[in-house]
DNA sequence: TGTACATCAGTGAACGCGCGTTCACTGATGTAC
DNA sequence: TGTACATCAGTGAACGCGCGTTCACTGATGTAC
């Protein structure tokens, strides 16, 4: 069955980046390039959704700099990517901040859910890098779990606890938080990976998640 | 902060395969190699969990054959990988078969859930290839959604419908099936990608999924 | 029964690619004297 | 005030790698005459 006429195409979806004119930083401002590189890497991660596809050379290209310039700031590729991942997590962590002014815990949980969904939808490359594949960097794995997503998860637990308390609900907040997270993750992840399916509206699924898990105020 | 002493290491986790002694197939048996290649590719997918990391050359190596031999059976890499993906889906599709003898729909739903979980756990590379990343092959994308996972999803809907009927539950079976699938997927996917977290027992989470979604028999 | 030949399964060398990383460098700018 | 020099930001060529794919081939085996 080799009689296939599929046209030849570039093998991978590896993101390319066109060079950008760029003036040398003034003395003492060398660290600016570091941030530029992190941003460039982060943008490439956003479109690739997979660290393996983000190369040193592509990052340098996107930053308008020779491949070697990156080595002034990062020992190797892993270090650059770990820094870019960290930066993605900082962006993600803002989710909870944006809902900080909502007092009712049930409303706030709903808002966080919608914000999580929108983050995954709008920045789905970033989302996938953070949550949809095995953490690729040994060292930062620990850090990320313990600090970034760890702290986000801790915030979720706190919020869930507030909901349970408001209902005199004796369930374990950590366990319920795992239920919330797994479900929301499943929703956004399958939507990204299987976009062609006829998905029900996200708002409805998120609202039903709250009711199914008993995270709405008892009347 | 470039003063890092991290030891150098191979860049990617690209799976390698040691050659295997292999006799030439007798005349007329050339198709055997085709299956060997598909199996080899499938095994590499299982350990890589990412089609991008499965190369023509690695597959040929694993099958004990020169890289060019594959081109007798597949026009190009995409065609081989599409065939390997198909074969992974066949394996997955057996999940429903193994529970076919359970009559009670609620019990069967639980059994399917546990089987799904075990598949993801035992063959987590296969699971990730099938469900945890954007379908990479334009053509087979359609096929896979429409036939393989489509048909698995249809089976899930049928099973959920049976549960709803047994309870005189008027909800839409398709919608509830999306709820079931997203949640189970979230559970198994996050467990794989964030294995370092302190996950609650899977059995409990699966059982609670059924009760939360009202997929247990009314007393 | 023998032999020329078509068919089949698979090989081996070579191509151009992008990659991570090395090494040695360039050229501007601040500073000590 | 002038100048030698250290520092800094970044460059350019080159390495060896695995990759997908091309082209031309080899050597065994069945078959027509």
Set of chain B residues whose Cβ sits within 8 Å of the Cβ of A142: 196
Q: Which residues of chain B have pLDDT under 70?
A: 1-21, 28, 135-150
pLDDT in tens, A43-71: 999 998 889 999 999 999 999 999 999 99
Complete DSSP assignment for B63-79:
HTS-GGGGGGT-SSHHH
**Among A19-33, A83-97, B83-97, B104-118, which is the least confidently predicted range?**
A19-33
What's residue A138's pLDDT? 45
Nearest to B182 among A8, A131, A186 (CB): A186
Residue B92 sits at the vertex; the CA angle it makes with B90 and B97, to the nearest 5 degrees, is: 90
What's residue B49's pLDDT? 85
What does each C-alpha distance from B49 to A16, A82, B146 come to in angstroms?
A: 24, 21, 22
**DSSP H or E stretch at residue A10:** none
Query: Tokens for A178?
Result: 């795992």
Q: What is the mean pLDDT of the segment spanning A158-167?
A: 98
The secondary structure of residue A66, as a DSSP letter, is: -
Using pLDDT thresholds of 50, 70 and 90, give the confidence band for residue A5.
very low
Query: Tokens for B132?
Result: 């945890």
Q: Which position has the higher pLDDT, A1 or A129?
A: A129
Set of chain B residues whose Cβ sits within 8 Å of the Cβ of A86: none
**DSSP H or E stretch at residue B61:** helix B56-63
Residue recorded with tokens 């374990």: A172
Residue A10: pLDDT over 50: no
The whole-number Å distance from B8's CA to D23's C1' is 38
Q: B132, B208, B192, B213: which is closest to A194 by C-alpha?
A: B132
**B contact test, residue of A92, A183, A209 with most B CBs within 10 A:** A183
Residue A140: pLDDT over 50: no
Residue A148: pLDDT over 90: no
Rg (CA), chain A: 21
Long-range CB contact pairs, A40-45, < 8 A, 24+: A41/A80, A41/A81, A41/A83, A41/A84, A42/A84, A42/A87, A42/A88, A42/A126, A44/A15, A44/A17, A45/A84, A45/A85, A45/A88, A45/A125, A45/A126, A45/A129
Q: Which position has the higher pLDDT, B139 or A32?
A: A32
Q: For residue A8, how many C-alpha atoms fall within 13 Å in the half-sphere facing its CB?
A: 0
Whether B133 and A193 lie within 8 Å, measured CB to CB:
yes
**Among A25-39, A170-184, B21-35, B202-216, which is the least confidently predicted range?**
B21-35
The whole-number Å distance from A60's CA to C29's C1' is 24
Query: Tokens for B24?
Result: 């030439």
Looking at the complex, does the CB of residue B87 fall below 8 Å from at least one CB of chain A?
no
Whether A132 and B133 lie within 8 Å, measured CB to CB:
yes
What's residue A14's pLDDT? 56
Q: For residue A104, how many C-alpha atoms fall within 13 Å in the half-sphere facing its CB?
A: 8
């Amino acid at each position: 069955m080799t009689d296939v006429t599929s046209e030849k195409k570039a093998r991978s979806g590896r993101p390319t980046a066109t060079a950008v004119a760029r003036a040398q930083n003034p003395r003492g401002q060398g660290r600016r390039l570091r941030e530029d590189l992190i941003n460039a890497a982060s943008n490439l991660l956003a479109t690739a959704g997979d660290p393996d596809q983000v190369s040193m050379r592509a990052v340098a290209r996107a930053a308008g700099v020779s491949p070697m310039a990156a080595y002034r700031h990062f020992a190797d590729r892993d270090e650059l990517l770990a820094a870019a991942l960290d930066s993605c997590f900082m962006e993600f962590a803002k989710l909870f901040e944006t809902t900080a002014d909502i007092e009712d815990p049930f409303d706030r949980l709903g808002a966080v859910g919608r914000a999580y969904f929108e983050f995954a939808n709008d920045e789905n490359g970033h989302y996938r890098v953070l949550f949809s594949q095995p953490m690729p960097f040994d060292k930062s794995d620990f850090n990320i779990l313990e600090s970034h997503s760890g702290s986000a998860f801790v915030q979720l637990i706190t919020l869930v606890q507030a909901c349970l308390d408001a209902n005199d609900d004796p369930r374990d907040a950590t366990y319920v938080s795992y239920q919330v997270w797994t479900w929301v993750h499943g929703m956004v992840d399958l939507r990204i990976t299987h976009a062609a399916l006829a998905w029900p509206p996200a708002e409805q699924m998120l609202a039903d998640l709250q009711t199914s898990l008993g995270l709405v105020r008892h009347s």
